[in-house]
């Protein structure tokens, strides 16, 4: 390790020194002053852009963009699903009964979100603070649209809520749910009561009885409410013409446990589907921050022909980072860190990290061990700074040492990120450790004794929620003919979570899901493929980084 001719960092690295938190919620010291305008920021801020769903992996900057817009000065409301009364929906006996007999609640959830978002925008735009203000706004809408016969149904709908535009969102949700509950009680109250008092009453019903109850429920939970709400959105859009003020409704924390898992992903899907209707309101931008793995679970749990991702592509803002943008993230934070302690001149990343790691530039070395996300590179730099406290510079040895703790943290974060979608991922990663190879062929991964051992570890335990590997592991235990599907699905999952890269043929380079195609179906994977464990995980999996076969 050649020593720089002259030390360029004049400041001693103190204990506890870091370039910020890896979580945007707790990163106020650095986030706003060091904010980097990724292209997604412009798309998220521009009213004319169709993108409404900020989609990215954990740590990619979704919450940072939400917080940036909150500070932009434009009127906004931020919705935290944890503060909504959606538990009231999941605990409703009437709705739980409908779900148990197989009734489709999607229309109800769609109507619920459209209603809530309409009321939130009215409250935001007109600054409604009390019942008098609420009635005044309804009066203005009535005066403007009552002469239009096409708007009468929608005005009638709003009439029911004319004094309630000011109430909180959780009250809104509770009231609209109670409205449906009372109608369902009137239609099938006796059956709902039996469902409450008798265990598994729905299983005692005949198919014909269930079909009859579902048909009766459809009369209540139907498309009529959606038609009324479409008219309400049209009225709001018309009344907003010429208003140059930009309004934002921001929705974050969808990855937290904000409602029971039995309806969580159906509610999330309904929210995504409801957003496009609000494109008619030209000065309103609704932004939903949604983790990639949550979207994947939505597709898994609600997968049917009506929810096709391609139809929603234009509404997604995919958060991707170029190496130069991530260098800006780190450079700005390093400069701010030292500016606060030293005013004699500017200190850069290169001043603090002057040594190559082998022959590789230190930033390039660190970046290669990330999934090109701000959180990853910030975490790696912080680990290195921690080891160099009491010195002026971070050495290459300290970077390699920091990599151990960083890699372990990234594995843990990866497992946590995909826990709800692929709950047996930790077992699969443990299996990679046993392979003791960085590069593995499909044939090697299919080696009978080892893959049967993995199948037993997954298949003999109780299935956790929705686990796509569990039934395949059981099938592989029952018959060797099923091992190929099991192994290919493992590769599909490892690639999707970015734990490995895939080489589809000897003439191609390795593809990684965070850079290239995000998904390969198991059925499309060729026999001669190879996988390479991502450098980020090598130390955590105790694999040799020099294994480059």
Close Cβ partners of 281 (under 8 Å, ≥ 6 residues apart) = 121, 233, 236, 237, 240
Q: Which pLDDT belongs to residue 3?
A: 52
Positive or negative torsion for Cα 474, 477, 482, 488: positive
* Cα distance between residue 451 and residue 527, in whole Å: 16
- 3-class secondary structure, 507: coil
Close Cβ partners of 454 (under 8 Å, ≥ 6 residues apart) = 427, 428, 431, 473, 490
Mean pLDDT of the 443-466 span: 92
* Cα distance between residue 467 and residue 421, in whole Å: 7
* Cα distance between residue 41 and residue 547, in whole Å: 39
Q: Which pLDDT belongs to residue 221?
A: 77
Ordered alpha helix ranges (H), 420-498:
425-435, 442-445, 448-459, 469-478, 483-496
150 DSSP β-pair partners = none
Q: Cα 221 from chain centroid?
A: 29
Q: Which pLDDT belongs to residue 171?
A: 85
DSSP codes, 383-417: HHHHHTTTSSS--HHHHHHHHHHHHHHHHHHHHHH
- pLDDT-derived band at 305 (thresholds 50, 70, 90) equals very low
Mean pLDDT of the 485-505 span: 97
Range of lowest pLDDT (133-142, 327-336, 358-367, 477-486): 133-142
Mean pLDDT of the 208-222 span: 88
Distance between first and last Cα of the chain: 27
Max Cα-Cα span within the chain:
86
- pLDDT-derived band at 67 (thresholds 50, 70, 90) equals very high
Task: Decide if 501 contacts 520 (C-beta within 8 A).
Answer: no
Q: Which pLDDT belongs to residue 304?
A: 55
DSSP codes, 219-282: HHSSTHHHHHHHHHHHHHHHHTTT----EEEEE--TTS--S-HHHHHHHHHHHHHHHGGGGGST
* Cα distance between residue 27 and residue 19, in whole Å: 10
Q: Which two tokens stand for residue 188?
A: 């099938």
- pLDDT-derived band at 314 (thresholds 50, 70, 90) equals confident
Three-state SS string over 229-241 comes to HHHHHHHHHHHCC
Q: Which residue shows structure tokens 């010195």?
A: 391
pLDDT digits (tens, 9 = 90+) for 179-214: 889 999 998 999 999 998 887 888 888 999 999 999
- pLDDT-derived band at 309 (thresholds 50, 70, 90) equals low
Positive or negative torsion for Cα 54, 411, 539, 428: negative
* Cα distance between residue 62 and residue 23, in whole Å: 10
Q: Cα 459 from chain centroid?
A: 28
Q: What pTM value is reported for the model?
A: 0.89
Tell me what percent of the residues of the chain surpass a pLDDT of 70: 96
- 3-class secondary structure, 310: helix
pLDDT digits (tens, 9 = 90+) for 248-280: 999 998 888 788 887 888 899 999 999 999 999
Cβ-count burial 87-124 (b if 16+ within 10 Å, e if not): ebbbebebbbbbbbbebbbbbbbbbbbbbbbbbbbbbb
- Map out the domains of the chain as residue ranges: 24-33+322-417, 39-318, 425-537
Nearest-CA neighbor of 77 among 8, 166, 11, 12? 166
Tell me what percent of the residues of the chain surpass a pLDDT of 90: 65
Q: How many CB atoms lie within 10 A of CB 230?
A: 16
Asked if pLDDT for residue 517 goes beyond 60, the answer is yes
- β-pair type (530-533, 439-441): antiparallel
Q: How many CB atoms lie within 10 A of CB 331?
A: 17
Range of lowest pLDDT (55-64, 183-192, 195-204, 391-400): 195-204
Asked if pLDDT for residue 127 goes beyond 50, the answer is yes
Q: Which pLDDT belongs to residue 176?
A: 87
Range of lowest pLDDT (212-221, 281-290, 533-542): 212-221
Close Cβ partners of 179 (under 8 Å, ≥ 6 residues apart) = none
Mean pLDDT, the chain, rounded, equals: 90
Asked if pLDDT for residue 311 goes beyond 80, the answer is no
Q: Which two tokens stand for residue 444?
A: 């090697």
Higher per-residue pLDDT: 387 or 158: 387
Q: What are phi and psi of 252, to 5 degrees?
A: -135, 175
């Amino acid at each position: 390790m050649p020593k720089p001719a002259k030390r360029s960092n004049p400041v001693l690295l103190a204990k506890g020194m870091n370039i910020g938190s890896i979580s945007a919620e707790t990163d106020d010291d650095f986030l706003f002053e060091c904010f980097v305008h990724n292209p997604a920021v412009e798309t998220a801020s521009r009213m004319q852009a169709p993108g409404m769903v900020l989609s990215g992996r954990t740590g990619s900057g979704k919450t940072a963009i939400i917080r940036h817009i909150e500070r932009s000065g434009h009127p906004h409301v931020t919705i935290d699903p944890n503060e909504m009364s959606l538990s009231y929906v999941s605990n409703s006996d009437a709705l739980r009964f409908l779900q148990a007999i197989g009734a489709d609640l999607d229309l109800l959830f769609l109507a619920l979100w459209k209603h809530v978002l309409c009321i939130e925008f009215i409250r935001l735009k007109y600054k409604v603070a009390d019942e008098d203000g609420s009635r005044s706004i309804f009066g203005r809408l009535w005066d403007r649209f009552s002469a239009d016969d096409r708007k009468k149904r929608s005005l009638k709908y709003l009439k029911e809520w004319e004094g309630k535009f000011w109430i909180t969102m959780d009250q809104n949700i509770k009231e609209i749910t109670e409205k449906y509950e009372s109608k369902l009680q009137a239609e099938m109250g006796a059956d709902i009561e039996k469902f409450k008092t008798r265990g598994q009453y729905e299983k005692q019903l005949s198919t014909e009885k269930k079909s009859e109850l579902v048909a009766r429920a459809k009369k209540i939970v139907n498309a009529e409410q959606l038609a009324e709400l479409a008219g309400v959105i049209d009225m709001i859009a018309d009344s907003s013409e010429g208003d140059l003020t930009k309004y934002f409704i921001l929705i974050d924390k969808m990855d937290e446990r904000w409602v029971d898992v039995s309806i969580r992903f159906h509610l999330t899907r309904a929210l995504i589907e409801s957003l496009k209707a609000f494109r008619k309101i030209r000065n309103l931008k609704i932004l939903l921050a949604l983790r990639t793995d949550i979207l994947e679970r939505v597709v898994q749990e609600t997968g049917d022909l009506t929810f096709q991702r391609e139809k929603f592509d234009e509404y997604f803002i995919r958060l991707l980072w170029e190496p130069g943008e991530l260098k800006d993230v780190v450079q700005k934070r390093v400069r701010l860190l030292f500016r606060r302690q030293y005013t004699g001149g500017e200190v850069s990343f290169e001043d603090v990290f002057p040594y190559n790691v082998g022959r590789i530039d230190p930033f390039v070395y660190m970046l290669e061990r990330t999934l090109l996300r701000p959180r990853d590179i910030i975490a790696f730099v912080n680990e290195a700074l921690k080891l160099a406290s009491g010195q002026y510079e971070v050495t290459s040895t300290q970077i390699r040492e920091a990599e151990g703790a960083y890699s372990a943290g990234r594995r843990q974060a990866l497992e946590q990120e995909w826990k709800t979608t692929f709950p047996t991922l930790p077992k699969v990663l443990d299996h990679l450790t046993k392979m003791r190879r960085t590069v593995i062929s499909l044939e090697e991964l299919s080696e009978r004794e080892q893959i049967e051992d993995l199948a037993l570890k997954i298949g003999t335990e109780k299935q956790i929620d929705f686990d796509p590997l569990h039934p395949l592991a059981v099938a592989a235990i029952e018959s060797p003919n099923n091992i190929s599907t099991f192994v290919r699905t493992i590769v599909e999952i490892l690639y999707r979570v970015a734990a490995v890269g895939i080489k589809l043929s000897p003439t191609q380079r390795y593809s990684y899901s965070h850079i290239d195609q995000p998904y390969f179906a198991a059925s499309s994977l060729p026999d001669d493929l190879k996988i390479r464990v991502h450098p980020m995980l090598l130390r955590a999996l105790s694999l040799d980084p020099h294994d480059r076969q």
